[in-house]
Each structure stands twice: as C-alpha cells, then as structure tokens.
Amino acid sequence: MGIIKIIHGDLTRQTVDAIVNAANTTLLGGGGVDGAIHRAAGPELLTACSALHGCATGEAKITPGFHLAAKYVIHTPGPIWRDGTQGEAQLLHNSYANSLALAAAYNCQTVAFPSISTGVYRFPLAQAAIIALTTIRDFLATNDTLQTVSIVCFDSVTLAAYQQAAQQY
C-alpha cells in the first residue's frame, strides 16, 4: 500500500510523476495554484488545456507538465462551496478519486495534490482535509500503482488542518 505525505511547500516545485491542478472548469488558467502552475509550466500548458475543451467539476483531465519537474499535470475543478447542501462533499471526493484514477491509468507512482477548493472556492478547510485524506487512503488500499501521494500545503494553516485530519484515522 502506498503512503500519504503531508508537506509544506510549493506544488509547482515538486519532483513527482504528476501534480494535480485545482483548476476551474475552463482549464484556461486562473488565480491561486492554477495560475502558479500555468506560469511555471509555460505557455504550452495553456495550448494543451485549450484542446481539452474544459472539464466538469469533480472530473479530471491530464496534460504533459512541460517546464515543471512533474511529467504530468492532472487538472480537476473542485466544487465551489455554497452551503454544504449542493453536493460539495461528493464533488470534492470525486475530484480526488478521479485524479488518482487518472494518475494510476498513466502509471504514475508519485502524485502531489494541493488542498483542492479551500482557497477562493471557500470549502471549509477541516472538512476538505478529511475528505481528501479519506479518499486517498481508500484509493491506496485498492491500487498498487501509486506509491506516494503528497498533499502539498502552501501555508501553515493548511498544513495544520491536514496534520490534524490525519490524526483522526
């Protein structure tokens, strides 16, 4: 079974087979981690994403990593938090599960995720961390391809939330 790492760092600098982009549904770049990935990968990423014609919330699509240390970028639009009654938890689970399945389908052994939907999409951090870690743990229990899945936390608040969530199971 693979391992889960929770680290503080810059997702765009991770040397892994794939990084996951918390994208918007257009896949054409944006703010936060999405913008940082597009800047680090170079203009080729926008061209590759344009050819994908968007992506539905909770689904995932893959492109090369171009100028990143990662071979691939897996793009998944996480849900925008409304009030918790609009299927947000299931959609967030789907973002992680579909990204993991796509990584395994491309024979990735190492994958790095950001904290999906907890920035401008306002998903409550503590709840998002539990969903992320539970989904990753459950996937690793049934899949032998992935060896290491990292959650790369941009700031200390996010790191603390994931560390606390990890202690709950």
In terms of Cβ atoms closer than 10 Å to its own Cβ (0-12, 13-18, 19+), residue 35 is exposed
What lies within 8 Å, CB to CB, of 59 at 6+ separation is: 76, 77, 94, 95, 98
CA max distance for the chain = 42
Among 34, 138, 144, 155, which one carries the catalytic annotation? 34
Q: Has 83 been annotated as catalytic?
A: no
In angstroms, the CA 98 to CA 92 distance is 10
Q: Which two tokens stand for residue 55?
A: 């992506």
**Which residues are tagged catalytic?**
34
